[in-house]
Structure 1
């Protein structure tokens, strides 16, 4: 019997707190779309509605001379990907992507792992740059251990 994959996808922008502290979830409050309602734009957390392979990406634009580090975190235990942004001479944007297996009801978010200053992120500017967090179910897994 063929079971089709549910459609789960979101893309959100606008970081709420531009001065995050270590351990803080980065909340992207403005969803462009949230098909399947798995992303909580108030908390900044994605909750997997089904077990499957998911693709996540984040795009960060920071002010010059700002140093900040981040991780994609699954349920406070596993840091899937880690990254660092720093640019001495001007504004900089960078992206991170991770493909992960999430079990039903596992949660994933972007977390600040270090920052040395206040007001790290640029405000969204639809013409030139935008901080974003997005994710999508690539394939549902049945009978996954």
Structure 2
């Protein structure tokens, strides 16, 4: 009996192809199509998980933005990296393409005798703030501040940098004022 069980798989391999079930070609075609769809889905999912951007405030030249009477979203126009196209250089808004943990950093500058204050905002809620400058006016020709945050975002959540009322930011051809972010891992 043991001998028969050992040789049975070998006998099945020796059967002529014509003795295989007639619908085996359909079954293999269906399996191949299902595998193609799965690979395509995984490729789309993998592409959506590659997210990183980095931009500076001014595309060219130098100048200050502000002061304004109300909060104003900053638009970082000089984009050097935008993998996944999640950052919009026309609105200054990053929109999470997938749920996950994201890391954001922002650096701001201000010329002498001025103050600056900006906040990282998630879905219209202030997360963290960076501020710099002395009210009496320091003798320093340039000051800067920075901050960073790791945020748990759902697909569609938005993040941007907002200038506080009555404050100013400065940027020039050295791209001193920047906003960057990337997906750490999907969830």
TM-score norm. by structure 2 comes to 0.65
Mark the CA change 1:14 to 1:83 in structure 2 (over 3 Å): closer, same or farther: closer
- Corresponding position of 1:13: 56
SS in 1 for 2:66: coil
Task: Please say if 1:39 is aligned against 2:91.
Answer: no
Among candidates 112, 124, 131, match of residue 84 of structure 1? 131
**How many residues were matched structurally?**
134
CA 1:58–1:121: 2 relative to 1, 3 Å? same
Q: Deviations over 1:45-99 (max 9, x none)?
A: 00000010000001111111112222111111x2110222114221112211111
Q: Which runs of 5+ in 2 are unaligned?
A: 1-41
Q: C-alpha displacement at 1:19, in angstroms?
A: 1.4
Structure with more strand by fraction? 1
Partner Cα separation in structure 2 for residue 101 and residue 31 of structure 1 = 24
Partner of 1:99: 150
Question: Larger RCO: Structure 1 or Structure 2 (Cα < 8 Å, ≥ 6 residues apart)?
Answer: 1
Partner of 2:29: none
Which position in structure 1 is the counterpart of 2:11? none
Q: Distance in 2 between matches of 1:70 and 1:99?
A: 17
Shift of 1:114: 3.1
Bigger CA radius of gyration: 2
What CA RMSD, in Å, does the superposition of the two structures yield over aligned residues? 2.1
Of Structure 1 and Structure 2, the greater helix share is in 2
Stretches of structure 1 lacking an aligned partner (at least 5 in a row): none
| 1:66–1:109 Cα change, 3 Å | same
Give the secondary-structure state (helix, strand or coil) at the position aligned to 1:104.
Answer: coil
TM-score w.r.t. length of structure 1: 0.82
Distance in structure 2 (CA, Å) of the matches to 1:135 and 1:18? 22
